[in-house]
Structure 1
Amino acid sequence: MIAADDLVALVRNYNPKTNAALIHAAYDYGRDMHDGQFRRSGEPYFSHPVAVAAILTEQQLDDATIITALLHDTIEDTKSTYSEISAKFGSEVADLVDGVTKLTNLELSSTETQQAENFRKLFMAMSKDLRVILVKLADRLHNMRTIKAMKPEKQAKKARETMDIFAPLAGRMGMQWMREELEDLAFRVLNPEGRASIIRRFITLQKETGDVIHRITSDMVHELEQAGVEAEVFGRAKKPYSIWRKMQEKEMGFSRLSDIYGFRVITRTEAECYAALGAIHQRWRAVPERFKDYISQPKSNGYRSIHTTVSGRDGKRVEVQIRTRQMHDVAETGVAAHWSYRDGVRSENPFAVDPAKWISSLTEQFDAEEDHEDFMEAVKLEMYSDKVFCFTPKGDVIKLPRGATPLDYAYAIHTRIGSACVGAKVDGIRVPLWTRLKNGQSVEIITAQGQTPQATWLDIATTGKAKSAIRRALREANRERFIKLGRELARSAFEHVGKKATDKVLEKAAKTLRLEDAQTLLARLGSAELSAREAVQAVYPDLAPRAKHTEVEVNRAVIGLAHGQGFERASCCQPLPGERIVGITQRGRGVIVHAIDCEALAEYEHQPARWLDLHWADGQHPAVYSVTLDMTIGNDAGVLGRICTLIGEQKANISDLKFADRKPDFYRLLMDVELRGAEQLHSVISALEAESDVASVERMRDPSLVTAPAAAE
């Protein structure tokens, strides 16, 4: 573990004016708070916050961020409080620590609906202070570096979350080095054989060709000197995961993959960047369509560089990035460059992007009114995609994600143009709407009056904006059908609480939910954008939460709990009265109740002290236990209404409904039904199976939806 003096020395290297006493105080406080806690590896727990702080010194960040790293787990895992941290280290640090704590508690790899909501919270935290994310990314990086101490199944979950969320987020923020390391560490866990194979082939290639990097670097330095360009040249082999991804994308083997080496040319001025480009293109043949000028068209995170690929020695392709020293600093730290220090003062880098403006550009399209699917698509496109620059016939530049089609281009210009699109010309040639656009192409959209969006367009469009607009148009076209379905759902839900879904009641619900009118409310119920429970709660808030009976009532249902001990039903197996159950104690959460045959219990088999022998109380229980039914039904008029009626006849309540898949001839639904117990579940499923338009129905159990982790991280 790094000593306090050594950590202060790391900060002093770039910030001689650092408040060493405050960093020492934070170090001592964090060590005392975590005293007696250990990581899975057996190391003192405080070694982790210190390592996170050391990672952030590499980005030359300010004292507040370094101190936050030292304290980032204190509020969550120790007796420390926000007030105490604020009193000792100031409100700025306390707010940052609190922000990191809230991020840690977000389950970003949860179900899609929860994931969308948690991503909104993630962006909200980012908008308050981006340094919260910088600490969280460093935290995840150190956890991935030390992941071997975890159980294999926990390693896989963390690695997948890293690959899907944290690595792309680091890349989106311009921290490419961190993205590459996070991806490679996750790759090591998720596909160790694939990674080992890449490394073995690299070793074989080096034996056959010698030190290619040194030879090409020397050649480039020579050519630049001949051209009178003063520059530094660095070469490296690309990371195993980067090579693996290229192999998958291009569907070719390692031996046919050429651009596995990358070189950076760091110049003094912007003019010298273009002079260096000319010298390199004069010496080596440029590869067509592999040139990008991010100096004239910078990325939104401040990234500036010229990218080109050339054929080097023996016909091997190499990628070259050319930029100035200031551009390089931003390329290394991305948005974090805003807080970087040099010689005791904030670094005055003209290319460092304003975090507030960056966050604003990232979140402006994530409208709270959009549904979860649209929101997640927009988030993932923003994080994962590189940009393609296309031109309008007038010469204006349109930025799109890689893989975009003329349909995305049309909607990027205006929704009206997208909806009326019947064709497109790319560089003057008529092309299909599913054509993938490339950098520098000129695109012209052909429109026609009377054209409306088609359902097949959802498979052609790639951007969140286009897909959202297409769905809205299709929704309007199906509005009447959705209103009928919504009326059946509303009738069933209101009858369950002893009320009627009259026009007056529906108008009141619409007004409370800030919708235009009752018809809009019913349409949203029918399209599953709004749950029936939300509609009931809007009018009768005291009746709607019947599924959430008081703790006293609920606790009486389970026998074997200690006095005052609360419990939660595990979301992975959703146990019901009448089924054998077992409890798992969880710090800060009470007891998690699982069905005895739940696959998730395997995670706790080596922790017998946490198991409790429980059973349901005898007698009839209230209908408050939610179970998810996975159902496939015919796409025909009145089918969903009949299903709602069948469930209501069994005295069960539909609390939520989601369309998992929609096809011309069938729907696949995920329906949450509130039940009294296993016997009522059997009655509901039997009634549904007897309905001719129900192709299949089964209880959904998902081991990946574990309610709580095996142990706190």
Structure 2
Amino acid sequence: MLRQYELVDRVLGYDPEADEALLNRAYVFSMAAHGSQKRANGDPYFSHPIEVAGILTDLHMDDETIATAILHDTVEDTLATPEQIEKTFGPSVARLVDGVTKLSKIEAQSDNERAAENLRKFLLAMSDDIRVLLVKLADRLHNMRTLKFIPSEDKRRRIARETMDIYAPLAERIGMYEFMKEMQTLAFAELEPDAFDSITKRLAQLKEGGGDQVSRISSGIRLLLAQKGIKADVEGREKHPYSIWRKMTERHISFEQLSDIMAFRVLVDEPEQCYGALGLLHARWPMVPGRFKDYISTPKRNGYRSLHTAVIHHERVRIEIQIRTHKMHAEAEFGVAAHWAYKAGGMIQPDVNSRWIRDLVEILDHAASPEELLEHTRMAMYQDRIFAFTPQGELIQLPKGATPVDFAYAVHTDLGDQTVGAKINGRVVPLRTEIMNGDQVQILRSKAQEPQAAWMNFAATGKARAKIRRFVRQKEQAEMVALGRRFYDAIVARMPAQLAPDALTQAVKRLKLSDPDRLMETIARGALTDAQVMEALMPGSSGEAGTNVHPTQHSVISMKGLTPGVAFTLAPCCTPVPGDRIVGVRHADAPVEVHVIECPVLQAAPEEDWVDLAWGDGSDGGTARLAVIVRNQPGSLGVMAGILGGQGANIVNINLAERDESFHTFIVTIEVHDVGHLMRIVAALRAADAVVNAERMEPRAPLAA
């Protein structure tokens, strides 16, 4: 553990103007506050915040950040209060400590809720001052270094998973690659110990078998560049175990099939020398097609700049090479921390990260559930990037797989909402077209357009999906209110007397709802019977209790693509069941009618009235019609009924369609769970000796007018 004078000397070594008194006060205050507290490994608890501060001195952080690191656990784990922190260390340090403290005070039920709440507070805090994120990352890194001392395996795995899912990607997004790699390696060792041990052993064997291959290749690259007048520092290393494991799982290959487990870094003085070195390397060794990336002319969203390439070395190995200046390298290793500048008024930071942070914070406003928040933010943090251009030449960075819809929302929310089409490189393309690196994208817009639910099928960015989902939810809510209003008007028309002017207001109060719109929405969803609405409007007016006149959907069937709760009917002409490919047909003032895709009724319905539907996740149940031919012999009908009962199919209706001396044909309507259930029933019927044939009946054509 660093002693007090050692920590202060470190800070003064890179920032002679640092507030020495502030650092000394923080050290003494934290030591006294933590007192005799111990960590899981038996060390004094006070050693943890000091080690976190030491990590941040390696990044040359300012005195306020170092003081925050020393104090970051005092409010949460000791009797110290935020008021004491502000009085002793000033409002700036108090605000930073409060930002870090809030990230740890999580009170939610499920793991997803806990992680989402953590992430939400995290994003809000770092959008205000990104130093909060730097302290938290250093805190998490030190906790991962001592993870093995926690006795509970479940707790170790939870911390490791959270580190892999949230903290490592955040470190990567602000360019702190060394933090990211160490976190991933430590988390990987906990989450996949067998794979970690296997890969590290194979790396050790490879190093022993090939001698010091990394040093030989590094020396060769350095000599090649020196001969052509380029002075360069060349570093080589094997890739870290998690990086290797991820490539093995993504490509479905074994360790022996990996051909690029070594990476080299070429550091030069000037950007022009980067391109000169690249030319020499490509002239000396064959380049691997598709592996060259120029992040100098088009930096990553986190400000990362470098040239990446891969070549086939003469030692018959494929190697990856990164070429950058020493300044670019410092930024790549330490990310935003490398950008801090010291001024009389304090520290400032560049704008290189503000856009993606704003995007993440904006997602907070549109996520309806913890699952959505995690989905969208992980999308924004994890995916590899591609670069596309507006017609004016502005560079837009997007994840791989992004479409023009993602591009439009990345430019501006209004442009995304009004998108009707797109041109890529001057050619009109469908909105689901994947944008490729270097494409020029022009968005065609119309003020009459609005976001479409179907865009969710191909939107790739968290920002776009959050915006679309929010609009769809608002539209669905408006539709539900309108539908409920129609049902409400029908109920009012049946009332025994004219309602008082304030009847609706009183009904809302009796039902303990927030406003009339919530009442209409509740009626539309079938959560209230007509009798309950009548009683709320005019107590004693409902007559027979439980009356419910308006049609509602089957309680266990839901449809993707249809407003939740909106009335629909399963068309009797084709009797769709879960698993069938289905289409809805809208009718004025009537429920949406659901048909199987092959139903001849659809031929008569205008395509503009079609609704693209799919069965919801909880869909279970429907009716199907079977044509069953049985032998004309005693007991055949009983055999058929016994098979249906044995397969869990309830008989709704049965009709004798044809009869002759040898066979009887029955039309049987049964309740089934889904298509798979129906097919099992048909197969069981066909297997019986008493049954000649069993078929699901084809959809019936519409009757002639």
Please report how far the alpha carbon of residue 206 of structure 1 lies from its aligned counterpart in structure 2 after TM superposition.
1.8
- Of residues 17-26 and 58-67 in structure 1, the stretch that sits farther from structure 2 once superposed is 17-26
How far is the alpha carbon of 1:248 from its aligned partner? 1.4
Whether 1:304 aligns to 2:302 is no
Corresponding residue SS for 1:233: strand
Q: Which has the larger radius of gyration?
A: 2
User: Aligned partners of 1:419, 1:19: CA distance in 2, in Å?
Assistant: 50
Q: Distance in 2 between matches of 1:634 and 1:501?
A: 37
Given the superposition, is the C-alpha separation of residues 355 and 416 from structure 1 closer, same or farther in structure 2, using an over 3 Å criterion? closer
Q: Could you tell me which residue of structure 2 aligns to residue 583 of structure 1?
A: none
Establish whether residue 333 from structure 1 lines up as the match of residue 334 from structure 2. Answer: yes
1:28 aligned onto 2:50: no
Are residues 108 and 346 of structure 1, via their aligned partners in 2, closer, same or farther at CA, if it must alter by over 3 Å? farther
Conservation of the 8 A alpha-carbon contact between 2:69 and 2:135? yes
How many Å separate the matches in 2 of 1:270 and 1:444? 32
- Residue 365 of structure 2 aligns to which amino acid in structure 1? A
Partner of 2:43: 43
Matched, 1:260 2:261: yes
Between the aligned partners of 1:108 and 1:170, the Cα distance in structure 2 is 25
The gaps in structure 1 that reach 5 residues or longer are 491-499, 533-630, 643-661, 670-691, 697-713
Equivalent residues of 1:61, 1:341 under 8 A apart: no
Look up the equivalent residue of 1:144 and give its one-letter code.
Answer: M
Cα separation, 2, equivalents of 1:525 and 1:250: 52
For structure 2, which runs of at least 5 residues remain unmatched after alignment?
489-500, 529-553, 568-611, 620-669, 675-705
Residues 369, 487 of structure 1: CA spacing in aligned structure 2 closer, same or farther, 3 A cutoff? farther
Deviation at 1:455?
5.7
SS at match of 1:37: coil
TM-superposed deviation, 1:289: 2.1
Q: Provide Cα deviations, 1:153-207, integer angstroms capped at 9, x if missing partner.
A: 1001111111111111111111111011111111111000011111121122223
Pick closer, same or farther for the CA change 1:48–1:420 going to 2, 3 Å.
closer
The C-alpha deviation readout for 1:17-46, integer Å capped at 9, x for no partner, is: 444443233222211211111111111111
C-alpha displacement at 1:346, in angstroms? 9.0
CA distance in 2, matches of 1:112, 1:524: 28
Further displaced range: 241-250 or 89-98: 89-98
CA–CA distance in structure 1, aligned partners of residues 506 and 115 of structure 2: 32
Q: Kindly indicate whether the alpha-carbon contact (under 8 Å) linking 1:60 and 1:340 is maintained by their aligned counterparts in 2.
A: no
Distance 2:132 2:347 in 1: 20
Which residue in the other structure is 2:196 paired with?
Answer: 195
Q: Report what 1:269 is aligned to.
A: 270
* Offset from partner CA, 1:437-461 (integer Å, 9 cap, x none): 4423456789999999776643332
Q: Residue 308 of structure 1: SS of its match in structure 2? A: strand
Partner amino acid for 1:483?
A: V
Provide the residue aligned with 1:149 in structure 2: 149
TM-score, normalised to structure 1, is 0.65
Task: For 1:262, give the aligned amino acid.
Answer: A
The amino acid of 2:325's aligned partner reads T
Distance 1:82 1:434 in 2: 51
Contact 1:37–1:45 (8 Å) recurs in 2: yes
Rounded to whole Å, the distance in 2 between the matches of 1:18 and 1:487 is 67
Match of 2:462 in 1: 464
Given the alignment of the two structures, is residue 635 of structure 1 paired with residue 558 of structure 2, yes or no?
yes
In 2: Cα distance, 1:114 partner to 1:632 partner: 31
Give the drift of 1:140: 0.8
Q: Aligned-pair distance for 1:405?
A: 3.9
Q: Distance in 2 between matches of 1:434 and 1:247?
A: 30
Q: Deviations over 1:258-308 (max 9, x none)?
A: 222222222111222222222222222222222222222223332222222
Confirm or deny: 8 A CA contact 1:286 1:310 kept in the other structure: yes
Aligned to 2:185: 184
Partner of 1:160: 161
Q: Which residue of 1 aligns with 2:285?
A: 284
Look up the SS of the partner of 1:40 in the other structure. Answer: coil
1:448/1:341 Cα in 2 relative to 1: closer, same or farther (>3 Å)? Answer: closer
Q: Which has the higher contact order (CA 8 A, sep 6+)?
A: 1
1:476 is displaced (CA, Å) by 7.1
CA distance in 1, matches of 2:332, 2:125: 24
Residue 365 of structure 2 corresponds to 368
Deviates more, 1:461-470 or 1:481-490: 481-490
Distance 1:42 1:214 in 2: 40
Counterparts of 1:290 and 1:36 in 2: how far apart (Å)? Answer: 55
> What one-letter code is carried by the residue in structure 2 that aligns with 1:86?
E
Q: Structure 2 length as normaliser, TM-score?
A: 0.65
Percent of aligned pairs sharing the same letter: 44
Q: Distance in 2 between matches of 1:205 and 1:34?
A: 47
Amino acid at match of 1:459: N
Matched, 1:387 2:310: no
Preserved contact between residue 489 and residue 641 of structure 1 (Cα < 8 Å): no
Moved more, 135-144 or 422-431: 422-431
How far does residue 240 in structure 1 lie from its aligned partner after superposition?
Answer: 0.4
Cα offset, 1:144, TM superposition: 0.7
Structure 1 SS opposite 2:43: coil
- Secondary structure of 1:204's counterpart equals helix
Decide whether aligned partners of structure 1 residues 340 and 220 sit closer, same or farther in structure 2, where only a CA change above 3 A counts: farther
For residue 246 of structure 1, what is the aligned residue in structure 2? 247
Paired with 2:265 and 2:506, the residues of 1 have a C-alpha distance of: 66
Distance of 1:524 and 1:228 partners within structure 2: 77
Deviation at 1:124, TM superposition (A): 1.9
1:378 to 354, 376, 394: 376
Partner Cα separation in structure 2 for residue 292 and residue 487 of structure 1:
58
Post-superposition Cα deviations, 1:305-348, rounded to whole Å, max 9, x if no partner, equal 22222222334222222222222221111112233679x99999
Matched positions, count:
538
TM-fit CA distance, 1:408 = 3.5
Q: What is the CA–CA distance in structure 1 between the aligned matches of 2:449 and 2:84, rounded to whole Å?
A: 63
